């Protein structure tokens, strides 16, 4: 099971489609700060967020399984902490392209 943590405000249609993919286990917490999601960050293999600036070294140190970050909207600049860990950062429009990126990355 691939654990995906979503803090970006995705449309209901996108969440429904993510939940329909059997390989994915999705934790949906729109607008939540990563600092308050330490337990879920620890197990997440992918993070879908609205702002990559939240990815501090502290947050990434907790996310030992994290392999992919998708930034919805805005620039997908790779935070230094992510680059140092080899975490891939991609940009999405926040809609169905988010699902396509996740499916492609994890071959789901």
CATH code where residue 77 lies = 3.40.50.720
The pLDDT value given to residue 95: 76
Number of independent structural domains in the chain:
1
pTM of the model: 0.89
How far, in Å, CA of 1 to CA of 13, rounded?
21
Parallel, antiparallel, or unpaired: how do β-strands 88-92 and 46-49 relate?
unpaired
The pLDDT value given to residue 42: 92
Contact 65/39 with Cβ under 8 angstroms? no
Kindly state the average pLDDT of the residues 73-100: 76
pLDDT tens digits along 8-65: 998 888 899 999 999 999 999 998 888 788 889 999 999 999 877 777 777 777 888 9
Count CB neighbours of 32 within 10 A.
Answer: 16
Q: Which range of residues forms the domain containing residue 55?
A: 2-106
Tokens of 99: 């699902």
Q: For the chain, what is the largest distance between any 2 Cα atoms, rounded to a whole number of angstroms?
A: 34
């Amino acid at each position: 099971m691939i654990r995906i943590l979503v803090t970006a405000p995705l449309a209901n249609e996108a969440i429904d489609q993510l939940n329909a993919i059997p390989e994915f286990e999705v934790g949906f917490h729109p607008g939540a700060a990563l600092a308050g999601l330490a337990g879920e960050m620890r197990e997440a293999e992918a993070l879908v967020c609205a702002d990559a600036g939240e990815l501090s070294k502290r947050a990434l140190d907790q996310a030992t399984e994290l392999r992919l970050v998708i930034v919805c909207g805005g620039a997908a600049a790779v935070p230094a902490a992510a680059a140092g860990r080899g975490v891939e950062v991609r940009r999405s429009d926040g809609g169905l392209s988010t699902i396509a990126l996740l499916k492609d990355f994890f071959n789901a």
